[in-house]
Amino acid sequence: MQKPHTFDRFLIQRLGISFISLVAAFTMIPIVVVFGYIIFRGVPAISWQFLAAMPRDGMRAGGILPAIVGTFYLTLGTAVFSVPIGIAAAIYLSEYARENWITRLIRIAIINLAGIPSVVYGLFGLGLFVLFLKFGTSILSASLTLSIMTLPVIISAAEEALRAVPQSFRTVSISLGGTRWQTIRKIVLPQALPGIITGVILGLERAAGETAPILFTGAAFFLPHLPNSPLDATMALPYHLFVISTQVPGMPIQIQYGTALVLIVFVLGMNIAATVIRSRARAKRQW
Amino acid sequence: MDKIVIQDLNLQYPTGPQSLKDINLSIPANAITVLFGPAGGGKSSLLRCVNRLNDIIDVKSLTGRILLDGENVLDPKVDVIALRRRVGMVFARPVVLPMSIRENMTYGLELAGEKRKSRLEDAVERGLKHAALWEEVRERLDDPAIALSGGQQQRLCLARVLANQPEVILLDEPTSGLDPISTGKVETALQELKKDYTVVIVPHSVQQAARIADYGAFFLQGELIEAAEGKELFTQPKVKRTEDYVEGRFG
Amino acid sequence: MKKSLTWTETLITAVIKTCGYSAIVFVILIFFFLLREGVPTLAEVKLGELFSTRWYPIEAHYGILPLITGSVIVTVGAMLIAIPFGIGTAVFLSEIAPRWLREILKPLVELLGGLPSVVLGFLGILVLTPYLRILLNLPTGLTALAGALLLGGIAVPTTVSIAEDALDSVPQGYREGALALGATKWQTIWRVTLPAAKSGVLTALMLGIGRTIGETMAVMMVTGNAPVMAVKLSSIVSPVRTMTATIAAEMGEVANGSTYYHVLFFIGLVLFLISLVVNIIASSVVFKSKKRAERVLS
């Protein structure tokens, strides 16, 4: 009496699971293909020459050193502004803020900052840093713009890391005569540090790969020499890739793939570093 | 001569019934005073008032006075940091800080700004000895504290408090997670410590209370029912409810 | 010594508090600057003109409707891809895949999430669009479809990541209870686990949508940049232009302070407001669901 019904259910299950697995495969395969293809076609272009020399012939030959250096400077500049403010804000939210309407407002603001389109950040950077504050198209303007964009990522990750530290540590520290800041400085912050560093690296990784925010605030395509000061414009890997793949006729394909590969390695290298730090810290944890 | 005098203490948290109702209690110096009773009696809350640990959580209202050597510790002008060094606390679960044993011991003094190596080393040894832990860990002071057994960790927490050289030691069910041998070690240590300190302890069982109490106070749902000398309270309590609890008729 | 300690601590606490409020300050700052440079548009361009269907700034036609439809069609297309693939993959990772497979695949998905969009756009131009052109016999592969495919690819990692976390945090007891009542694994997933993770999955989708609307480089590189009204079915295989691409492509050639300049900022303002609305909806979904859960569990 019940048999046909049971047969149906399990058949549906087998079909369903196969279907879902297919869907997942369809998602995974393109990922592998994308990476594989870039590596496959980009590796031939990589040489010490490519990485360390200046470009020639309107970027069609030679190396991409200024772009690499530029991305490095921009990442550094972003870190300088976003890391201290981001960590401090996270400390505030985790250790000081009470659950009231203004804290709720701060959280909404953070979510919003995270959701603003990157090109709108570019506009904002143009309006405020380049024009109003007269910093001009410079590493400074671009870094400040990228910093504000990176802030929500760092704050979220850092807050999570701080909250993960057991409350009992704080209670014990206070009961031994510690102030709130002493407790943070001596126990909470050191214990949360690996998680914070992971979050910082992931945030900076995003900043390193962004093009739109630096389009009008700091990126340039053809610069005869490396930047000398934060007020100089700079070349940058993502922008460079964009221009050579869309706006330069006669650009050798190999250089394009090579540039893409360098950018990926730069960005994903950071990703891997963050993952390694995270798992090593988890193993060494004393709680 | 009373070390702590509690006067008309009333405590209310934002949710739930009143935690402490009109508590009047004197705690003598150099003795073990036991605050006992069934769960929800307000005993832990009372301890947390004495070292102002309730400051860090939301409290709806707190009225009354707690006099330590004649001075009211609930006065907002009091230096709470100094207070918490004079009144140390051991919690129910052993909470060792994520550092070495030595660093756990010196933590309190470092908070106070003590930098002299000799002073710190003295405090480490003294505290561990008084908590009856010195012989077991003297060879491995730089090992992480988390490597110790449960009983050892709890004694480390006690030693850590002692390193601060307090005057009062508050203990909130310190042996509730420990095996009988470790419990015994802690109780023995307390008997030694009472000679130099004032000990206030919330025991985890009536039997423990009866074992170690010099003085006792019975709490029931926020009210102080009866307080008397230990022997008297546990063998011939005056109030019926105390007798019922001591004899195990409820709890 | 105590006194100086307190003084330093007060200073540090003040700095921390200021940084805490900084997020609000920045949002307001961004809004203000967009307003400052974007609002003059309303004085310089008639409202009817602004919302007309012709975007041809060289001849002072500033109709932004084509751009809006361009963004919409690409976003909708992307979500049609990201939702099934994102949730499907999340379900696979969380409920079906064996542990070892999950440990390999989850980082792989996160790896894709870290890929800069310009790289995807790059591959889009070189590989995807020629392929589409040949496959679908089109005049050009630079179409809304290409954009939707790329954006879907960009939105999927975010969606998978958050949805998978949401499914993972459904208590094991729910699944065991359903199985004990005789449900198959498949039935458990769709009737018990997924509904239980509803708020997290919705958040994942909203964040995916947010990321899609805001994407600039990949769309700019593959959608063809033709500001036409994208409302016919055939629009999906024709070139379109999104709001984001418009700003990125044209800002560099614009005279500071001109009407054109103001209009681009106005478009930026529109984008800002859209993301504001999406984020508020997303966060209220999370907050509301939490409150309901509290009521149920207490």
pLDDT reading at C10 higher than 80: yes
- Report yes or no: C217 at the A interface, CB cutoff 8 Å: yes
Taking 50 as the pLDDT cut, the residues of chain B under it are none
Scanning B106-165 for CB atoms below 8 A from A yields 107-108, 110-112, 144-146, 157, 160-161, 164
Contacts of B113 in chain C (CB under 8 A): 1, 5
Q: Report the candidate in A75, A65, A32 with the shortest Cα–Cα distance to residue A213.
A: A75
For chain C, domain boundaries = 41-297
Sign of the alpha-carbon dihedral angle for A66, A68, A70, A72: negative
CB atoms under 10 Å from CB of A275, counted, come to 16
Residue A13's contacts (CB-CB under 8 Å, 6 or more residues apart) are C184, C185, C186, C187
* Choice between C49 and B125, residue whose per-residue pLDDT is larger: B125
Model confidence pLDDT, tens digit, residues C206-257: 888 888 888 899 999 998 888 888 777 777 888 889 999 999 988 888 878 8
* Domain positions in chain A: 68-236
What residues in chain A have per-residue pLDDT under 70?
1-7
Give the model's pLDDT for residue C4: 53
User: With an 8 Å Cβ cutoff, are C33 and A179 in contact?
Assistant: no
Q: Whole-number mean pLDDT of chain C?
A: 84
Q: Which residues of C touch A155 (CB under 8 A)?
A: 23
Among A168, A175, A191, beta carbon nearest to B53? A175
Per-residue model confidence as pLDDT tens digits over A170-185:
999 999 999 999 999 9
Q: Which residues of A touch C33 (CB under 8 A)?
A: 123-124, 127-128, 132
Is the Cβ pair B97, A172 closer than 8 Å? yes
pLDDT band at C289 (very low <50, low <70, confident <90, very high): very low
Chain B CA closest to residue C4: B113
Residue A113: both structure tokens together: 């900052």
* Nearest-neighbour CA in chain A from C232: distance (Å): 27
List of chain C residues whose C-beta atoms are within 8 Å of the C-beta of residue A148: 26, 30
**pLDDT, tens digit, 9 for 90 and up, residues C273-288:** 998 888 888 777 665 5
Burial of C12 (0-12, 13-18, 19+ CB in 10 A): middle
CB contact under 8 A, C117 and A119: no
- Please write the tens of the pLDDT for every residue from A2-36: 555 566 778 888 888 888 888 888 888 888 888 88
The minimum CA-CA distance between A42 and chain B, rounded to whole Å, is 47
Between positions 255 and 274 of C, the ones with CB within 8 A of A are 256, 264-265, 268, 271-272
| C41-297 is a CATH 1.10.220.10 domain | no
| CB contact at 8 A, A165 and B98 | no
State residue C272's pLDDT score. Answer: 94
Identify the pLDDT of residue A5: 59
Which site among C3, C5, C8, C294 would you substitute to test the B interface, given the most B Cβ atoms closer than 10 Å to its Cβ?
C5
What's the CATH superfamily of B2-246?
Answer: P-loop containing nucleotide triphosphate hydrolases (3.40.50.300)
Nearest CA distance, C27 vs chain A (angstrom): 6
Nearest to C128 by CA among C103, C100, C105, C153: C153
- What are C's interface residues with B at a Cβ cutoff of 8 A? 1-2, 5
Interchain CB contact of B91 with A (< 8 Å): yes
The fraction of chain C above a pLDDT of 90, given in percent, is: 20
- Give the A window 172-211 contacts with C, CB below 8 Å: 179-182, 202, 205-206, 208-211
Q: Is A155 helix (H, G, I), strand (E, B) or coil?
A: helix
Choose among C89, C97, C184: nearest Cβ to A13: C184
Predicted confidence band at C296 (pLDDT cuts at 50, 70, 90)?
Answer: very low
* Contacts B79 to C, Cβ<8 Å: 2
Q: What is the pLDDT of residues C175-219, one digit of tens each?
A: 888 888 888 888 888 888 888 888 888 888 888 888 888 889 999
CATH class of the region A68-236: mainly alpha
Residue B111 Cα distances to B9, B82, B94, C12, angstroms: 31, 11, 20, 17
- Residues C230 and C236: their CA atoms lie apart, in Å, by 8
What the block records as the tokens of A282 is 């988890």
Nearest to A123 among C12, C34, C126 (CB): C34
Whole-number pLDDT of residue B245: 87
Q: What's the CA angle centered on C22, arms C20 and C26, to 5 degrees? A: 155
- Token couple for B230: 């230990």
Position C94 pLDDT exceeds 90: no
CA distances to A48, A118, A214, C27, C280 from A149, rounded to whole Å, are: 33, 8, 11, 11, 18
Compare all CA atoms of chain A with the CA of B165 and give the residue at the minimum distance: A176
Could you tell me the two tokens for C21? 């409020």
Domain residue extents for chain B: 2-246
What is the per-residue pLDDT for A27? Answer: 84
Residue numbers in A near B110 (CB within 8 A): 186
Q: How far apart are CA A98 and CA C1, in angstroms?
A: 30
- Please indicate whether, in this complex, the C-beta atoms of A187 and B97 are within 8 angstroms of each other: yes
Partner chains of B (3+ C-beta pairs under 8 Å) = A, C
Of the candidates B95, B123, B128, B96, the one whose C-alpha atom is nearest the C-alpha of residue B110 is: B123
